[in-house]
Structure 1
Amino acid sequence: MDTRRSLYREEDVDRLAARARGRRSSAVVASEAISWGEPVLPSAISTVSGGRLYYRGVDAVELAATATLEDVATLLWDGAWTPPAYAPRPEGRAPISAAFTALAERAAGDVASSGLGPWQLRSEAASVLGCIADAMLGVSAGPLHVRLADSLGRRAAADVLRRAVVLLADHELNASTFAARVAVSTGASLSAGALAGLATFAGPRHGTAAAAVLALALDIGPHADQPGDGLREWLGEGRVIPGFAHRLYPRGDVRAEALLAAIEVPSSFSKLALAADDLLGDRPNVDFALAALAAAYDLPPHAPVTIFALARCVGWLAHMLEQVASGQLIRPRARYVGPAVTGGSGPLA
């Protein structure tokens, strides 16, 4: 036995680590929690545990085998609801642009979320989901994944789109979900909260990341036989390789694995994934899978963001319902790092 080594029970190490964390100031803990840190508020909606994603305790990957987005809404909203009637999308509008406009017009006059009961909130949530779906999809009736397939002109893709929207419906306290919860914590309407979520979602580091993966695949096209060369060029230019790795899934994004297993992945994407694994040691995340899905079915350029936004709206609404029920205002403090504060008698301690 190597006497230089010390062996400890895992639970003892965890206890000591927790004790050390407990000695840190509340300011430090709060600051670290904002960026991929410790959980900052309680939620019974979804969690990533042991490398798996769960919706109210149900494995999301297993759920995606048969469930619809409507089924997931019933689960996450914790109660039955009635889907509203559909309306056509205005012609000539990009789906995401139409969703912004529809939500903004609605948020200007909708009732406050505070004071509504559970049944009223679910009814309002259904109406907001219908508003977004109508704005982005319109054109046909039926389950949301069928309407989505029709709006993209690919009815044959309906089942794989069903899987995709189920897998993307919620993902803990991501940036857009947090924005939606903050909005309704003030008493704002659910449509206002959805608008806040959509605005946050639209950033390239969140809901529109799949577009960067499509751009990468197109850019390294000349390196189709040796995609690693194309990736090295990207890295050499100081660019981040999009579509790979996720901090919550150190062994690989299970959503991506499930979605990629359901489609015939284009060879260019398969080679890209192998090259990234060899060069970076990273596996595809769900943004890569969305881009591969779009390429596999030759979907329009707006397809990844449309699929993602429609799905995630269900999660935003679930979190908003939970936040309204809590009655709590989300109001964190800023850790001031600016110039010294001065008062009437000089610098303050």
Structure 2
Amino acid sequence: MADELKRGLEGVLVAESDLSYVDGEVGKLVYRGYDIEDLARGASYEEVLYLLWHGSLPTAAELDAFTADLVAERDVDDDVIETVRALADAGERPMAALRTATSMLSAYDPDDGDSEETTLTQGRRITAKIPTVLAAFERVRQGNEPVAPDPDLSHAGNFLYMLTGTEPDPVSEETFDMALTLHADHGLNASTFTAMVIGSTMADVYSGVTGGIGALSGPLHGGANQDVMEVLHEIDASSKDPVQWVKDTRDDGGRIPGFGHRVYKVKDPRAKILEEKLRDLSESSGDTKWLDYTTAIEEHLTDQGLVEKGIAPNVDFYSGSVYDSLGIPVDMYTPIFAMSRAGGWIAHVAEYQEDNRLIRPRARYTGPENAEFVPIDER
């Protein structure tokens, strides 16, 4: 049994955690015991960060102090912004630019050490600065100057402001804040496990978050919402009915992104919430195109029995449409995922290091045996 191979670590328990729990059979996600729907509708992203990092929801006074500390760390050193500018001018991909800039941030952090307090202090700085980095990157590559953070805006509102140069309306701010909460943590997914493995070596949290960004950048993990949006744009450009487009694609052996999940066997609870927010945004703007497309596709695939087979809409099926409605470029979707999930990565690193054990699995050797060495001049 000890030598049983579990490819992809499928079903292998490697740690215990108080942070989040996913029940894929019934479609349930909780953070520290709180249902994701209650948190998404009733708590701000700042409150969720506090919950993940400190173990309980904050009082009003605790939230004010926590938010003030987060706001105070939003500014990014000029050297980092210049590097971001150079990466944008060179045509670097957003996730790669974020990976580079996040690693560089550690050079300007005054704290050092491997205590939980240091991890959370540095984590707060990382979390506060990632939106500034991403917004600056996007504005520079669009030929605009970066916009300085606004200390009077929330984490979500400030990012949208720095991205567009315009203070967001309440519906947009609330929707984006909710999206950040929905993506903040999700068990031991690939990027969280990567951050935790790095943390198990007692490397600093900058290393863990940088590693998490690298893992999230892969198309099998963080890019599905971009894929969904590209499909919707393709459907729109084809002038086909979305259901007919799906039928033709499936007949040709293609797959529809945004359906199916490694854990969820029913509709992702986060998808349900984002579908509602997409309705709100569509009603607010008067443009229901993406809502019409996505709901028609979901209804068709449900009628085709995919949900009964455990292939249901996941969070990415609706998040792309939500981000598009907020005016966010398609290739910024995964970086925004990282902006939110950084809070979870930091929480997992801090939690694991409390009772640390170096993560060191084994591989079954399948190479040659008893190879005879031949000196180079005889080969």
TM-score norm. by structure 2 comes to 0.75
Q: Secondary structure at the match of 1:235?
A: helix
- Residue 350 of structure 2 is matched in structure 1 by 321
Which of the residues 258, 270, 295 maps onto 1:270? 295
Q: Indicate yes or no: 2:212 matched with 1:197.
A: yes
RMSD of the alignment, in Å? Answer: 2.7
Q: Secondary structure at the match of 1:77?
A: helix
Number of residue-to-residue matches in the alignment: 316
- Residue 128 of structure 2 is matched in structure 1 by 130
- Residue 140 of structure 2 is matched in structure 1 by none
Contiguous gaps of at least 5 residues in structure 1: 1-24, 345-349
Counterparts in 2 of 1:163 and 1:44: CA distance versus 1, 3 Å? same
Q: Indicate yes or no: 2:371 matched with 1:331.
A: no
Counterparts in 2 of 1:53 and 1:106: CA distance versus 1, 3 Å? same
Identity %: 30
- Residue 151 of structure 1 is matched in structure 2 by 162
1:185-225 CA deviation, whole Å, 9 max, x = no partner? Answer: 11211001100000010111111211111111122336666
Q: Indicate yes or no: 2:100 matched with 1:101.
A: yes
Counterparts in 2 of 1:310 and 1:235: CA distance versus 1, 3 Å? same
For residue 316 of structure 1, report the CA deviation from its aligned partner. 0.6
Distance (Å, rounded) in 2 between the aligned partners of 1:65 and 1:105: 35
Contact map agreement 1:169 1:315 (CA 8 A) in 2? yes
Counterpart amino acid of residue 160 in structure 2 = A
Contact map agreement 2:119 2:346 (CA 8 A) in 1? no
For residue 261 of structure 1, report the CA deviation from its aligned partner. 1.1
Written as runs of structure 1 = structure 2, the 5 A alignment for 1:68-87 is 68-78=44-54, 81=66, 82-83=69-70, 84-87=72-75
Distance (Å, rounded) in 1 between the aligned partners of 2:12 and 2:158: 38
Distance (Å, rounded) in 2 between the aligned partners of 1:312 and 1:206: 12
1:114-146 CA deviation, whole Å, 9 max, x = no partner? Answer: x63332221121122123232113632232111
Distance (Å, rounded) in 2 between the aligned partners of 1:129 and 1:178: 18
Distance (Å, rounded) in 2 between the aligned partners of 1:99 and 1:64: 26
Q: Indicate yes or no: 2:76 matched with 1:65.
A: no
Distance (Å, rounded) in 2 between the aligned partners of 1:342 and 1:215: 52
- Residue 333 of structure 2 is matched in structure 1 by 304
TM-score norm. by structure 1 comes to 0.81
Counterparts in 2 of 1:109 and 1:26: CA distance versus 1, 3 Å? farther
- Residue 257 of structure 1 is matched in structure 2 by 272
Which of the residues 14, 18, 23 maps onto 1:44? 18
Q: Secondary structure at the match of 1:48?
A: strand
Counterparts in 2 of 1:240 and 1:251: CA distance versus 1, 3 Å? same
Q: Indicate yes or no: 2:6 matched with 1:31.
A: yes
